[in-house]
Amino acid sequence: MKESKVPTLKSIAEKLNISVTTVSKALKGYSDVSPVTRQKVLDIAEELNYTPNSIAVNFRTKQSKTIGIIIPEVVHHFFSSIINGVIEEAERQNYFVIILQSNENKEMEKKQVELLISKRVDGIIMSLSNQSNDEDYLKKIIDRNIPLVLIDKISKLIDCSKVIIDDKKAAFDAVNHLINIGCKKIAHIRGPLNPQNSIDRFLGYKTALDHHNIPFDSSLVYPCKRVCYEEGYDFTKQLMNDHPDVDGIFAITDLVAVGALTYLNDQQIKIPNQVAVIGFSNWFMSSVISPKLSTIDQPGFKMGAQAFLLLKEEMESMRNAGKRVCKTITLNTDLIIRESTSK
Amino acid sequence: MKESKVPTLKSIAEKLNISVTTVSKALKGYSDVSPVTRQKVLDIAEELNYTPNSIAVNFRTKQSKTIGIIIPEVVHHFFSSIINGVIEEAERQNYFVIILQSNENKEMEKKQVELLISKRVDGIIMSLSNQSNDEDYLKKIIDRNIPLVLIDKISKLIDCSKVIIDDKKAAFDAVNHLINIGCKKIAHIRGPLNPQNSIDRFLGYKTALDHHNIPFDSSLVYPCKRVCYEEGYDFTKQLMNDHPDVDGIFAITDLVAVGALTYLNDQQIKIPNQVAVIGFSNWFMSSVISPKLSTIDQPGFKMGAQAFLLLKEEMESMRNAGKRVCKTITLNTDLIIRESTSK
């Protein structure tokens, strides 16, 4: 192998004929090094393209200035907005972000937690896979005193800081809006049975029906497995066969709602007059498709930024006081009314 | 601060009353440790939840098993697909990915390169900001013998490995298709003047016109600054005022094309009969809006996976032979014909 060209403290010291200690002190701005010497060291460091070895530095301070984030899927608009928020805030505070995606797979998530622990990250932000609940590897993060913030897809059984929205209230708002515009028979294309946000949105749907004395009918609830466009399309087809008189659909997320819109458009079923549709999340695409989709705005970017700030608070609390903060921040959602529910 | 619970080699050694060296050798499977002792060490390590300190390990092997990727924007569907491809391949090979976003800002990009170098990553993948060209900080990566792969938004002036598509040919295919369906006066909503892919797509547009003996008219070319939905909308408005007889639009990317579709829909201008529209990139949304958008499929996920594999080849070549590979991989694009150009 070619000889390494990487300049070291030693090479700077040799060039100036001074000690390595003096070079090190000069670079750190210690006052017992004369300004003249300091300037010489800085000039040579610049000339040699010297970069401090942060692994060595971190090894001393025991901070890696790196955090890890594990999320189900990067390509989802909502999750990429979260990442965006985390990265922007982390960059501002000179932290690095290692991003890993679990692909909604518990085994993968476990492996990733272990990798992050072995990488000695300063803290971890996670949005759980649909399969995860009170898993041992999540408890291990707590046992090892590693700061942890759960975001959006959380487990109530893990005692740590969380950044969430009130999914139940947001779903209530969506379904309440459908009822207010005159819908009497509302279907819910829901998420899988395990994740907390899927449960809470379903409960919000039920509560809104209750609130208006509309009896709950379980045959109007269709559970997605992958929460994708195709399921939205196929369940709407099945729904229109099972219940031709349905007049409203509340979908677990915009992607599923867009699948529903496409099926209804293909069948020339009038939206919203025959069937009104509302989604959840407010993806960009929802504002440009036709008809434009009503939805719940979920502030992904802000959630990501908040999650980093909360993690930072955790990291400082662990370092200074040896204890967790364990705070839950609930961010507001907004009902966005567009063409798909404007009768 | 609370006493740290993190188990060390020393705590395992003390528990078994053997030397730290023996514990270390046992964990690494050295043959001069008896199988019985080895098993005892593994059992205690398991019991104590011991995880090897990878920072210390890396410090010895001089590999961090971490790579960095700098891209303009995470929320863009194309870039999040690239990230997805990089992460999936990196995970398969037990590498970590540090993701940074430049926000199309050269100063930010420079700072991020320096951070990655100081973090001693094993290699860097970059998609350049619109402002970047043959910048000194890019040359510094080369000078420091750090493996580098440029992806999609590259600079021809930097001598390193690259994963690209043939933007000129792909743009030629798009405009050639518009001409083949009968368009005679075709506008191009182009990207900024600096980035190579924006230049190449513009050249592909010009070449297709040449090929069909259609004279080039520079007043039909509108340059975006931010390459966003709003610019697509506003430039199409301006275009329809400047040239009411235009009958085709080739937009630099789907997001811009969707802005164009929205303006034309708002004005009840018939697509594609009065004006046909084609985009570039094949975002998911293009297949669900109305009319469905014709476009060029750009294989983001595959490009990301290829970029990681090429970076790995670079890293191995640098380690074993002390030299770069400097290979360019060009992936195929496909013309996707949908409603916006189906006369």
Q: Structural domain boundaries of chain A?
A: 9-52, 64-164+300-331, 167-298+336-341
Q: Which residue of B has its CA nearest to A292?
A: B289
Tell the CATH topology of B65-165+300-333: Rossmann fold (3.40.50)
* End-to-end Cα spacing for chain B: 72
CA dihedral A154, A159, A163, A165 (to 10 degrees): 60
**Cβ separation of A288 and B229 shorter than 8 Å?**
yes
- Residue B205's φ and ψ, nearest 5 degrees, are -60, -50
- pLDDT of B40: 84
The residue whose two tokens read 């004929």 is A17
Share of chain A above pLDDT 90, in %: 59
The whole-number pLDDT of residue A240 equals 98
pLDDT of residue A171 exceeding 80: yes
pLDDT grade, residue B39 (50/70/90)? confident
Interface of B with A in 318-337 (CB under 8 A): 319-323
Beta-bridge mates of residue B329: B163
Q: Which of B278, B229, B274 is nearest to B251 (CA)?
A: B278
B289–A289 C-beta distance less than 8 A: yes
Q: What is the pLDDT of residue A38?
A: 81
Task: Find, in chain A, the residue whose alpha carbon is nearest to that of B112.
Answer: A91
CB contact under 8 A, B144 and A5: yes
Query: For residue range A228-272, what is the model confidence (pLDDT) as tens digits?
Result: 999 999 999 999 999 999 999 999 999 999 999 999 999 999 999
Other CB atoms closer than 10 Å to residue A273's CB: what's the count?
Answer: 10
Superfamily of domain A9-52: lambda repressor-like DNA-binding domains (1.10.260.40)
Which pLDDT band, with edges at 50, 70 and 90, does A174 fall under? Answer: very high
Report the length, in residues, of chain A: 343
Nearest-angstrom CA–CA distance, B309 and B23: 36
pLDDT greater at residue B91 or residue A277? A277
Give the nearest chain B residue to A94 (CA atoms). Answer: B115
**Which has the higher per-residue pLDDT, A166 or A132?**
A166
Of B80, B285, B319, the CB nearest to A1: B319
Q: Average pLDDT for residues A190-218, to the nearest whole number? A: 95
Q: Count how many pairs of residues, chain A against chain B, have C-beta atoms within 8 Å.
A: 145
Contact with chain B for residue A137, Cβ under 8 A: no
Q: What is the structure's pLDDT at B56? A: 43
Cα-Cα end-to-end distance for chain A: 72
- What would the CATH number be for the domain defined by A64-164+300-331? 3.40.50.2300
Whether B9-52 shares its CATH topology with B65-165+300-333 is answered no
Strands A295-297 and A334-336: antiparallel
Q: Give the closest-approach CA distance of B130 to chain A in angstroms.
A: 19
Secondary structure of A183-197 as H, E, C letters:
CCCEEEEECCCCCHH
> Can you give the pLDDT at residue B253?
95
Q: Are strands A248-251 and A186-190 parallel, antiparallel or unpaired?
A: parallel
What 3-state class would DSSP assign to A66?
strand
* Best mutation target, B55, B112, B141, B236, to test chain A (most A CBs within 10 A): B55
Q: What is the pLDDT of residue B14?
A: 87
Min Cα separation B111/chain A (Å): 10
B167-298+336-341 to CATH, choices 3.20.20.70, 3.40.50.2300, 3.10.310.70, 2.60.120.560: 3.40.50.2300
The answer, yes or no, to whether ipTM is higher than 0.95 is no
Query: CB neighbours (10 Å) of residue A101?
Result: 27
d(CA B54, CA B60): 10
Helix (H, G, I), strand (E, B) or coil at B189: strand
